[in-house]
Structure 1
Amino acid sequence: MIFFHSHKFISDNGKYYTSGSLNNGVFQRYLNWFGEVTVFANELSATKDHAKLINDNNEVTNVNLDLVNTKVNLRNSITVIRKIKEAVYSHDYIVIRMPSFYGIVAIRYAEKMNKKYLVEVVGCPWDAFWNHSLKGKIIAPFMWFFTRKTLKDAPYVVYVTNEFLQRRYPTKGKSIGCSDVVLPKLEKGILKKRLEKINLLEKRKPIILGTTAAVNVRYKGQEYVIKAISKLNNEGHNFEYHLAGGGDNQYLKNVAKECGVEDKVFFLGALPHVKVFDYLDNIDIYIQPSKQEGLPRALVEAMSRGCPSLGSKTGGIPELLNKEFIFKNGSVEEISELLKKVDEKMMLFEAERSFKKANEFNKELLDKKRTNFYLKFVRNAEI
């Protein structure tokens, strides 16, 4: 099987490291279903900013990597397209994770060669490109059109949401809604500790907000939370903001400085996944202010720790949260108004609701649902 995605793998001294969630554990699923697996994606040379990622042993070792330089342009795009065509031709099963330019090209050749393919939809290309940059706003309509057209006729589609992506990119083929979130077993003691933490909150101490997301990606929206806590603290409230996530944080640092909350905004850097839950246990409220998401893993993980949670009206976020705690994308005013509602009663209620909702992401049930669907695809392709 060959897996197409625009993921960036970091190369360092002949070894390759994942820059996100595509790790050995995730790839093991595909190995179980298909045997040998090749991943067609991007290669990015390591810099000093990747030292922590490399030291935390994020090396990918169990799949073959067929990588291209991240700077695809008009001069080398023809070479890349030819490479995609050859990759499709030489493999039996084609799996594409969208949104992805490579995926759109791969599907075109899979259809020409009459090869069965399966598409995983993990995000909305319109939101991703439109909220990225000026260049992204030019690309967004084209990616939206081609993704929508591609998915309409795709024979097998896996959506990470239950409603949002299905509405925006419907298919006539077989499909399921199945989150890609993997949670450890949820022990009742987790919720008990969260409720005790809320009951012990001291009025004079700051309420700690948290977001897990890359700090150099503007559409993650952390700047709006920084501006909101500045507004609230000037009104006499006491909020801190703890940001977990890799990338250059200079822009957000500047926002915090301009807003006068440098001492209230803390950058924790990229955390190894095993330490993310300790971070979540330390915060009081989780907030997902993104302008683009599929079904955010970080939000589900926060809810699994009983975190009272707020989020923007983006992607699959409203499928997870209490509708009373959803705010308009980029609205500092709405974030501020919601945070003013925070009190002990609200936090206790939302902690229990979050934990209960997270239980829907039971690993065994999701794995069974996902496996049954992929095996149907494999058997059909064999026939």
Structure 2
Amino acid sequence: MNWLFAHDNRFLKGEDGQVYSEVAFSYSNWQRYVAHVDQLTVIARMEPLDDLDTKFLNLSGGEHVTFEGMQNPYGIRAFTPFPRGYKTVLAAVEKADGVIARLPSEIGYMAVKAARKTNTPYCIEVVGDAYHAMATYGDWKGKLYAPFAEWKMRRSVRKSQSTLYITDKHLQERYPTIGQSVSCSNVELPKLAMDTIERRHERNKKPTEKLIIGMNGSLSSPYKGFETAFQALARIKSYLPPFEFRILGRGSKEDWRELIDQLELAEHVVFSGTLPHQAVYEWLDDIDIFLMPSKTEGQGRALIEALSRGCSCLGSNVGGIPELITKEQLHEPNDATELAKKLAKLATSQEQRQQYARLAFERAVTFQRERLQEIRHRFFQDFKSIIHNKRNEEL
């Protein structure tokens, strides 16, 4: 049995044929699908590796996984019934026994359309909000396309027979389906260390040389809210204890230098670059307050990882973030003043940080790998049964 996985992710192919990804989609990611089939074909954007250093990339290729690259699907034709690359997607769907469309993505929308045309069973993974992803992309073209992207996603999800949402309620309300659905986060945490809260309590009650505030996200992303964080810190820097603002993530730090200098934050900001996944948890153990002031989010992988290490967290009330932290920890997106007030209060209250640490750990427990793998396994077993039943009906 062969399944087709359709998404807009950009993969990089080396001269030796190895395929890599800049974010997510390591080979281990595909095991959740390969466990049910003989072959998984991934159709996505494909570009040459060129001179990028592979030690900062995820190796995506491996046994039972093949890749079919296609051109960038974005452009004026995305507004038409004949988007760029549709014939390529249609040909790939015709060779598959089942289709997994991860949305929002242009290739995913095309795969759903092709699956309906060919009567191929398909399921959908809803991992973000099409409208907000486009509306906050940064230029007028994204804002213009946002309502159309929302319409395409609503149309794709509504009639889906099998849908997996990464949120508990938010994306279900934004993009409802008439078929069967499950809630299963795309973030899988390893088994949580039971001494996490004890260690965090010891850290919170001891005076430290500096308060460490952290953020984790791509520096080139227009919707992570870095400018909101910088502006909030600038408003209250004279009221805070000595502090350091550490930023983890790939991208050019030079893009932010001018704003940092204007706000006189240069002595406080530290760019931590990128780290292997396990090292991210070690980085989080040194963070006292974690910020996620995003303009949009599907669920918030970085926030979930911070919760698992008992970090006191503040975030915007977008996407799935309100499902992760309390109302008192939320602020409106782009509202640097509100974030500044909450941050100032939290920075000077060890008791409140300890309370948030306890709540963080309790919420993170629900994202442990074994629990989510069981939910996801049942979902894809049910999808496999749908394919078998269809085959039997055709005999």
- TM norm structure 1: 0.95
Q: Structure 2 CA distance, aligned partners of 1:366 and 1:213?
A: 24
What is the identity, as a one-letter code, of the residue corresponding to 1:10?
Answer: L
Query: Would you say 1:99 and 2:104 are equivalent positions?
Result: yes
Partner of 2:227: 223
Partner of 1:25: 28
Match for residue 346 of structure 1 among 342, 347, 352:
352
Q: Structure 1 CA distance, aligned partners of 2:245 and 2:50?
A: 28
Partner of 2:161: 155
Partner of 1:252: 256
| TM-aligned CA deviation for residue 272 of structure 1 | 1.3
Partner of 2:4: 2
Match for residue 378 of structure 2 among 363, 372, 376:
372
Query: Would you say 1:141 and 2:147 are equivalent positions?
Result: yes
Partner of 2:392: none
**Kept after mapping to 2: 8 A contact 1:211/1:288:** yes
What is the identity, as a one-letter code, of the residue corresponding to 1:103?
Answer: G
Q: Structure 1 CA distance, aligned partners of 2:261 and 2:19?
A: 37
**Kept after mapping to 2: 8 A contact 1:184/1:363:** yes
Query: Would you say 1:209 and 2:209 are equivalent positions?
Result: no
**Kept after mapping to 1: 8 A contact 2:42/2:66:** yes
Q: Which has the higher helix share?
A: 1
Q: Structure 2 CA distance, aligned partners of 1:92 and 1:223?
A: 46
Query: Would you say 1:122 and 2:127 are equivalent positions?
Result: yes
Q: Structure 1 CA distance, aligned partners of 2:50 and 2:222?
A: 21
Q: Structure 1 CA distance, aligned partners of 2:151 and 2:56?
A: 39
Match for residue 198 of structure 1 among 201, 204, 207:
204
| Alignment size in residue pairs | 378
| TM-aligned CA deviation for residue 323 of structure 1 | 1.0
Q: Structure 2 CA distance, aligned partners of 1:73 and 1:34?
A: 34
Superposed, 1:270-289 pairs within 5 Å as 270-289=274-293
Match for residue 70 of structure 2 among 57, 62, 68:
68
- TM norm structure 2: 0.92
What is the identity, as a one-letter code, of the residue corresponding to 1:174?
Answer: Q
SS at match of 1:33: coil
C-alpha spacing 1:44/1:319, structure 2 compared with 1 (3 Å): same
**Kept after mapping to 1: 8 A contact 2:204/2:354:** yes
Q: Give the ranges of 4+ consecutive aligned residues of structure 1 lying more than 4 Å apart after TM superposition.
A: 71-79
Q: Structure 2 CA distance, aligned partners of 1:75 and 1:346?
A: 52
SS at match of 2:20: strand
SS at match of 1:141: helix
Q: Structure 2 CA distance, aligned partners of 1:170 and 1:141?
A: 16
> Which stretch of the first structure deviates more once superposed, 250-259 or 104-113?
250-259
C-alpha spacing 1:357/1:11, structure 2 compared with 1 (3 Å): same
SS at match of 1:210: strand
Match for residue 43 of structure 2 among 40, 43, 48:
40
Identity of matched residues, %: 31
Q: Structure 2 CA distance, aligned partners of 1:368 and 1:264?
A: 44
Partner of 1:336: 340
C-alpha spacing 1:79/1:295, structure 2 compared with 1 (3 Å): closer
SS at match of 2:295: coil
Partner of 2:94: 89
SS at match of 1:282: coil
C-alpha spacing 1:75/1:289, structure 2 compared with 1 (3 Å): closer
Partner of 1:242: 246
**Kept after mapping to 2: 8 A contact 1:286/1:308:** yes
Superposed, 1:262-301 pairs within 5 Å as 262-301=266-305
Q: Structure 2 CA distance, aligned partners of 1:297 and 1:88?
A: 30
List alignment gaps of at least 5 residues for structure 1: none
SS at match of 1:219: coil
Q: Structure 2 CA distance, aligned partners of 1:95 and 1:46?
A: 26
| TM-aligned CA deviation for residue 45 of structure 1 | 3.2
What is the identity, as a one-letter code, of the residue corresponding to 1:60?
Answer: S
| TM-aligned CA deviation for residue 22 of structure 1 | 1.2
SS at match of 1:218: coil
C-alpha spacing 1:72/1:291, structure 2 compared with 1 (3 Å): closer
**Kept after mapping to 2: 8 A contact 1:232/1:238:** no
> Which stretch of the first structure deviates more once superposed, 98-107 or 262-271?
262-271
Please tell me the root mean square deviation across aligned C-alpha atoms, in Å. Answer: 1.7
